[in-house]
């Protein structure tokens, strides 16, 4: 296929947390709100005068300092972020808002605070820790709304004078929705038998929407969608199987690439920094206050394994099965960053349920934060692809 | 063989087998007392086993075999103890044994596979091992039973290898080996279908950590989807020090109570609740008195005595069983007596230590070893430093509303949870405050290697200890799995520090290296 016009540009944006668009927005006087988890409602961080950045640590090498502070038993994502923070890599941000989501991320941000790694030359820099619900119900929703008020909106208003009115929130949701629509439309092309966009390309396009100011990206996303509409796929489909990629945080540009280089087309992405459910639109009505509506939709659509009620747990597996069906997947890859407790359990049970109850072949893997050219991972995916092919040939169970 | 404290070489009692060579001679009076308590334990076990359904349970449930090691467990905790200390230890341990025996008896009574007493089972609400049972303080007729407590928690106290099979089961099922082995083993028991099946309903709690929370999902899957037992997940807030989470926490408690009422058909009883609340407060006052004594030169209730008893009394009992308050009073009387006489539990006290972090379950008597081998007095430990807040205990309309918040507070401040959640201040900053309060010259920091909440503060502990000039000794372990770090591996870390950093010689050199790798 012909290269997408803006792909190289998007890839360049992902090479640095403080990327070109972040710098541009900062030059325009906007405040950069950092976060580390999908459970912080994104539109609330993208109000007039602010933009959000999900922290990443591209090109991570040594994590020795972070390993000293948090030992080698914490997940590499949390250690990579702390290492980058210690190096001063996040001093472009104006605050960080984090939920007490998983223990490791919480400890990561606490270490950032204790080590005074951020807020250089910005006396107004603040850290906020949120309590977020672990069950989707009315009580959880009330908590979510209150926490968003107390730990996002009020500090932004009081510290930086940000407009947090309903009107401002609606504007942020509208911008958010436009990005979501574009991503979803681009992603729809992954359903094709011989798709005109690779999983890798889609991953890159989706990921930039989490790490760069959205208003500066929208034009390029629109252009990319138009380009894909008329893009000619390769004559022969080079992939031997189609998989849904499910799991914990994936911000390494090489992960999906490696899977696809091993013969498996990633037709759907259900992971933190993926498009499901992160790029679902937020539908607002005119009757209820905007914040409540945003929180409710984040809570009920959330696929994070920390939601602990059995109804939510079962729904998570069905969600994956539905994606596999809709995107015509032959199998599912469950992955987790090594040492991630929530996804360790989710991966274990999800693998069994998807295999036994939904009859999908499943590969379960754990991986380092930066996968690079992992031979182990490549071998496992290749073997998985072969096993799917053999099942197809033999006409056995899916 | 000596009556005096510290005269014997306690290490000589160890053999390479499961039990020790012989019982310890403590002088006529103490040996006789210890022997009568041993007989009492054997009687409790016999009375338990005399029931046919309990014998069936012994053969049905793999973990039951560990209960043959009960007398040995008590012996491990009474090593070197004399007089009041020996009696305090027995009062605590024997009551816990009795309580666990009743728990097992009730579990087997309602178990669909064994007793199958359906009427009894209809009044049972299952709870987690790691859960404050405060939500049952208003249900006099509902039995709150924990299946994980006897299957894994107590089993590992009895036999260091008790959880290994279940850890392996969970890993064979696909769980990585780097998660905390406690919820891992609990999930393994469920995967192995080795829990008694009973109850009208269950209440799980988002307890100490992500692993525990996620392990509950595995257990509730079997409970709800296969056994047909409805489960309520009590999601207590993690940032429990914040004011803006308390209304939410209270509502969770209200919802949990409504759930129990619905499934057991029982009604919340305020009279019973406030009776329990009075006992909770009295137990808290006793605990505070013991801690106050431990701040002086003559600590009395400390080490594993304090840790194990507090865990049971604070979390599992919550004022529901009057025998625990009665025992509190007896312990306080003995402690007071020993304090006035300026008695000490070992022949030499060299260091005053705060024990922080999550202790090794397969080596719970490590604190006794610390005292006897190196003269390190474990003044208090992280799991014993729980809420000291008095809860409302008079039945008034205002207090009924307050009571819901008190239950929520207790649930949020469950053992370990009150330190592993709630931000770094409760884990890190408060440790140094305790060091000052207790005049400690040393911190022994258990590094349970798969406890992410503790690991995540590793560097901060080191830096802050250095700034304050406090000796910090790391002791690695893997909570339920002695294959990763053995008991001797735990001891070696202390031995190395004491010899190479502090240049000290042990008080009892026979304890430095012990052949207990095959021991229960």
Determine, for residues B423 and A110 on separate chains, whether the beta-carbon distance falls below 8 Å: yes
> How many CB atoms neighbour CB B518 within 10 A?
11
**What pLDDT, on a 0 to 100 scale, did the predictor assign at position B183?**
95
Is the Cβ pair A339, B221 closer than 8 Å? Answer: no
pLDDT number for residue B331: 97
Task: Give the minimum alpha-carbon distance from A3 to chain B in angstroms, rounded to a whole number.
Answer: 39
Q: Are A351 and A321 in contact (CB under 8 A)?
A: no
Estimate to the nearest angstrom the gap between the alpha carbon of B508 and the chain centroid: 28
- Tokens encoding B279: 């006992």
pLDDT at site B7? 82
pLDDT for the residue numbered B208? 79
As a residue count, chain A comes to 398
Tell me what pLDDT residue B4 has. 82
Task: Give me the pLDDT at residue B433, please.
Answer: 97
Q: CB-CB: which of B204, B218, B456 is closest to A345?
A: B218
Judge: A102–B210 Cβ closer than 8 Å, yes or no: yes
Contact A129, A100 (CB under 8 A): yes
* Rounded distance between C-alpha atoms, residue B369 and residue A137, angstroms: 49
- A42-90 residue pLDDT tens: 999 999 999 999 999 998 889 999 999 999 999 999 999 999 999 999 9
Task: Give the pLDDT of residue B8.
Answer: 85
Question: Is the Cβ pair A142, B248 closer than 8 Å?
Answer: yes
For residue B62, what are its two tokens?
């793999």
Q: What is the pLDDT of residues B72-87, one digit of tens each?
A: 999 999 999 999 999 9
Question: In Å, how far are A145, A162, B376, B490 from B486, measured between CA atoms?
Answer: 48, 56, 21, 6
Does the beta-carbon distance from B424 to A344 stay under 8 Å?
no
To probe the interface with B, which of A63, A68, A71 has the most B CB atoms within 10 Å? A71
**Rounded distance, CA B327 to CA B240, Å?**
31
Q: Which residue of A101, A107, A155, A248 is the best one to mutate when testing the B interface, meaning the one whose CB has the most B CBs within 10 A?
A: A107
Q: What is the average pLDDT value for chain A, to the nearest integer?
A: 96
Chain A interface includes B178 (CB < 8 A) = yes
- Three-class SS state of B352: strand
Percent of chain A with pLDDT over 90: 93
Tokens 């020993």 correspond to: B338
**Residue A155 scores a pLDDT above 70:** yes
The whole-angstrom separation of Cα B436 and Cα B152 is: 36
- What is the rounded CA–CA span in Å between residue B149 and residue B142? 18
Cβ contact B452–A140 (<8 Å): no
Rounded Cα–Cα distance for residues A388 and A398 (Å): 8
C-alpha distances out from residue B369 to B12, B38, B90, B155, Å? 14, 21, 17, 21
Residues 6+ positions from B509 with CB-CB distance below 8 Å: B9, B11
CB nearest A349 (choices: B218, B450, B456): B218
Task: From B497, B506, B517, select the one nearest B443 (Cα to Cα).
Answer: B497
User: What are the chain A neighbours of B455 within 8 Å (beta carbons)?
Assistant: 70-71, 73-74, 107
- A residues 295-354 near B, CB within 8 Å? 305-306, 308-310, 313-314, 336, 338-339, 341-342, 344-349, 351-352
Tokens of B277: 């609340």
pLDDT band at A101 (very low <50, low <70, confident <90, very high): confident
d(CA A85, CA A79): 10
CA A163 from chain centre, in angstroms, equals 27
Q: Which of A37, A103, A346 to mutate to test the interface with B (most CBs of B within 10 A)?
A: A103
Contact A108 B456 (CB under 8 A): yes
- d(CA A58, nearest CA chain B) in Å: 22
B449 inside 8 A of chain A by CB: yes
| d(C-alpha A237, C-alpha B296), whole Å | 78
Q: What is the pLDDT of residue B2?
A: 67
A142–B contact, CB cutoff 8 A:
yes
Q: Which of A293, A257, A287 is nearest to A372 (CA)?
A: A257
CA distance to partner chain B, nearest, from residue A70 (Å): 4
User: What is the CB neighbour count within 10 angstroms for residue B125?
Assistant: 25
Low-confidence ranges of chain B (pLDDT < 50): none
pLDDT band at A394 (very low <50, low <70, confident <90, very high): confident
Report the run of H or E that residue B430 belongs to, with start and end. helix B430-437
* Cβ <8 Å between A348 and B421: no
How far, in Å, are A12, A17, A217 from residue A251 at the CA level? 14, 11, 18
Q: Does B58 touch chain A (CB under 8 A)?
A: no
Write the CB contacts of B338 (distance below 8 Å, at least 6 apart in sequence). B83, B84, B85, B298, B300
Chain B residues with CB under 8 Å of A107 CB are 424, 452-453, 455-457
A107 touches chain B (CB under 8 A): yes
**Most A CBs within 10 Å, among B172, B177, B217, to test the A interface:** B217
Q: Give the C-alpha separation, A9 to B321, whole Å.
A: 68
The CA distance from B94 to B89, in Å, is 8
Q: In what order do the strands lie in the sheet with B376-381?
A: B376-381, B351-356, B442-448, B471-477
Judging contacts by C-beta atoms under 8 Å, the chain A residues touching residue B478 are none
CA distances from B85 to A267, B77, B311, B336 (A): 67, 11, 19, 11
- pTM for the model stands at 0.96
- Region of A230 on the Ramachandran plot (φ > 0 left; ψ -120 to 50 alpha; else beta): alpha
Instruction: Summarize the confidence of residues A103-126 as an average pLDDT.
Output: 96
Q: Are A74 and B216 an interchain contact pair (Cβ–Cβ within 8 Å)?
A: no
B211 and chain A in contact, CB less than 8 A: yes
The verdict on ipTM greater than 0.85 is yes
* B6 neighbors B83 (Cβ within 8 angstroms): no
Give residue-wise pLDDT tens across range B164-199. 999 999 999 999 999 999 999 999 999 999 999 999
Instruction: Encode chain A in three state secondary structure.
Output: CCCCCCHHHHHHHCCCCCCHHHHHHHHCCCEEEEECCCCCCHHHHCCCCEEEEECCCCCCCCCHHHHHHHCCCCCHHHHHHHHHHHCCCCCCCCEEEEECCCHHHHHHHHHHHHCCCCCCCCCCCEEEEECCCCCCCHHHHHHHHHHHHHHHHHHHHHHHCCCCCHHHHHHHHHHHHHHHHHHHHHHHHHHCCCCCCCHHHHHHHHHHHHHCCHHHCHHHHHHHHHHHHCCCCCCCCCCCEEEEEEECCCCCHHHHHHHHHCCEEEEEEEECCCCCCCCCCCCCCCCCCHHHHHHHHHHHHCCCCCCCCHHHHHHHHHHHHHHHHHCCCCEEEEEEECCCHHHHHHHHHHHHHHHHCCCCCEEEEEECCCCCCCHHHHHHHHHHHHHHHHHHHHCCCC
Tens digits of residue pLDDT in A194-203: 999 999 999 9
Q: Judge whether residue A398 has pLDDT over 70.
A: no
- pLDDT at residue number A372: 72
pLDDT digits 0-9 by tens, A329-349: 999 999 999 999 999 999 999
CB contact under 8 A, A310 and B224: yes
Mark yes or no for CB contact B458/A70 under 8 Å.
Answer: yes
When pLDDT is averaged across residues A112-135 and rounded to a whole number, the result is 96
Report chain B residues whose CB lies below 8 A from the CB of A102: 210
Q: Which two tokens stand for residue A284?
A: 């607002």
| Residue among A69, A100, A305 minimizing CB distance to B458 | A69
Which residue among B211, B251, B255 sits closest to A341, beta carbon to beta carbon?
A: B211
**Residue B78, C-beta contacts closer than 8 angstroms, at least 6 positions apart:** B24, B34, B86, B89, B90, B93
Interface of A with B in 70-99 (CB under 8 A): 70-71, 73-74, 78
- Interface probe, candidates B169, B176, B209, B244, chain A, greatest A C-beta count within 10 A: B176
What letter would DSSP give residue B145? E
Is residue A396 scored above 70 in pLDDT? no
Q: How far is B452 from chain A (nearest CA, A)?
A: 6
Secondary structure in 3-state letters for B155-181: HHHHCCCCCHHHHHHHHHHCCCCCCCH
- Looking at the predicted structure, is the pLDDT value of residue A138 above 70? yes
């Amino acid at each position: 296929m012909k290269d997408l016009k803006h792909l190289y540009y998007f890839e360049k944006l992902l090479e640095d947390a403080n990327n070109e668009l972040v710098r541009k927005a900062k030059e325009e006087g906007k405040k950069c709100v950092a976060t580390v988890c999908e459970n912080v409602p994104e539109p609330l961080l993208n109000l007039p005068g602010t933009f959000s950045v999900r922290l990443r640590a591209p090109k991570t090498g040594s994590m020795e300092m972070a390993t000293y502070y948090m030992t080698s038993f914490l997940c590499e994502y949390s250690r990579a972020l702390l290492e980058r923070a210690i190096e001063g890599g996040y001093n472009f941000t104006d605050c960080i808002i984090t939920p007490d989501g998983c223990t490791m991320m919480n400890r990561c941000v606490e270490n950032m605070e204790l080590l005074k790694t951020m807020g250089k030359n910005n006396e107004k820099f603040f850290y906020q820790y949120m309590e977020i619900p672990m069950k989707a119900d009315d009580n959880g929703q009330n908590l979510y709304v209150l926490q968003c008020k107390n730990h996002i909106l009020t500090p932004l208003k009081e510290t930086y004078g940000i407009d947090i009115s309903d009107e401002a929130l609606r504007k942020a949701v509208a911008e958010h929705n436009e990005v979501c629509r574009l991503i979803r439309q681009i992603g729809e092309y992954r359903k094709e038998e011989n798709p005109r966009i690779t999983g890798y390309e889609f991953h890159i396009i989706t990921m930039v929407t989490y790490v760069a100011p959205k208003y500066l990206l929208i034009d390029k996303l629109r252009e990319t969608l138009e380009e894909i509409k008329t893009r000619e796929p390769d004559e022969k489909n080079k992939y031997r199987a189609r998989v849904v990629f499910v799991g914990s945080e994936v911000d390494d540009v090489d992960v999906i690439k490696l899977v696809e280089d091993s013969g498996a087309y990633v037709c759907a992405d259900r992971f933190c920094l993926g498009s499901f459910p992160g790029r679902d639109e937020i539908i607002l009505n005119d009757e209820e206050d905007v914040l409540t509506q945003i929180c409710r939709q984040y809570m009920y659509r959330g696929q994070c394994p920390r939601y602990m009620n059995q109804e939510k747990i079962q729904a998570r597996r069905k969600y994956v099965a539905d994606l596999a069906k809709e995107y015509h997947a032959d199998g599912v890859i469950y992955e987790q960053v090594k040492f991630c407790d929530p996804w360790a359990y989710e991966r274990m049970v999800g693998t069994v349920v998807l295999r036994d109850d939904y009859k999908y072949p499943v590969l379960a893997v754990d991986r380092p934060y930066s996968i690079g050219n992992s031979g182990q991972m490549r071998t496992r995916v290749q073997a998985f692809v072969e096993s799917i092919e053999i099942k197809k040939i033999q006409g056995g169970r899916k | 063989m000596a009556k005096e404290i510290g005269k014997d070489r306690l290490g000589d009692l160890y053999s390479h087998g499961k039990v020790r060579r012989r019982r310890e001679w403590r002088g006529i009076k103490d040996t006789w007392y210890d022997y009568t308590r041993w007989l009492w334990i054997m009687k409790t076990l016999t009375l338990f086993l005399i029931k046919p359904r309990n014998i069936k349970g012994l053969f049905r449930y793999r973990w039951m075999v560990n209960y043959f090691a009960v007398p040995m467990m008590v012996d491990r905790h009474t090593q070197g103890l004399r007089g009041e200390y020996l009696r305090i230890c027995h009062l605590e341990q024997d009551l816990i044994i009795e309580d666990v025996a009743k728990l097992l008896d009730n579990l087997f009574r309602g178990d669909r596979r064994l007793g199958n007493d359906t009427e009894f089972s209809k009044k049972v609400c299952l709870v987690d091992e790691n859960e404050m049972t405060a939500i049952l303080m208003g249900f006099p007729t509902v039995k709150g039973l924990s299946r994980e407590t006897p299957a894994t928690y107590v089993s590992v106290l009895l036999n260091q290898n008790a959880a290994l099979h279940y850890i392996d089961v969970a890993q064979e099922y696909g769980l990585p080996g780097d998660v905390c082995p406690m919820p891992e083993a609990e999930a393994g028991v469920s995967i192995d279908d080795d829990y008694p099946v009973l109850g009208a309903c269950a209440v799980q709690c988002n307890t100490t950590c992500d692993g525990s929370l996620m392990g509950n999902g595995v257990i509730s899957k079997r409970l709800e989807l296969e056994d047909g037992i409805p489960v309520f997940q009590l999601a207590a807030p993690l940032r429990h020090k914040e004011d803006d989470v308390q209304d939410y926490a209270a509502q969770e408690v209200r919802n949990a109570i409504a759930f129990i009422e619905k499934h057991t058909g029982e009604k919340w009883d305020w009279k019973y609740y406030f009776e329990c609340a009075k006992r909770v407060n009295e137990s808290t006052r006793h605990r505070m008195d013991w801690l106050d004594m431990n701040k002086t030169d003559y600590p009395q209730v400390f080490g594993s005595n304090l840790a194990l008893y507090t865990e049971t009394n604070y979390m599992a009992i919550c004022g529901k069983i009057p025998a625990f308050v009665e025992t509190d009073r007896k312990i306080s009387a003995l402690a007071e007596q020993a304090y006035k006489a300026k008695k000490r539990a070992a022949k030499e006290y060299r260091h005053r230590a705060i024990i922080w972090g999550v202790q090794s379950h397969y080596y719970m008597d490590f604190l006794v070893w610390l005292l006897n081998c190196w003269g390190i007095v474990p003044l208090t430990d992280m799991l014993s430093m729980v809420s000291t807040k008095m809860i409302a205990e008079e039945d008034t309309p205002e207090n009924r509303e307050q009571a819901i918040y008190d239950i929520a507070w207790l649930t949020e401040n469950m053992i370990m949870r009150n330190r592993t959640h709630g931000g770094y201040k409760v884990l890190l900053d408060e440790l140094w405050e305790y060091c000052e309060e207790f005049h400690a010259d040393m911190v022994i920091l258990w590094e349970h290697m798969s406890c992410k909440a503790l690991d995540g503060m590793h560097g901060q502990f080191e830096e802050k200890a250095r700034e304050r000039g406090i000796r910090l000794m790391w002791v690695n372990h893997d909570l339920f799995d002695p294959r990763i770090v053995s008991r001797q591996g735990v001891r070696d870390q202390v031995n190395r520090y004491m010899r190479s950093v502090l240049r000290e010689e042990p008080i009892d050199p026979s304890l430095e290296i012990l052949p207990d790798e095959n021991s229960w």
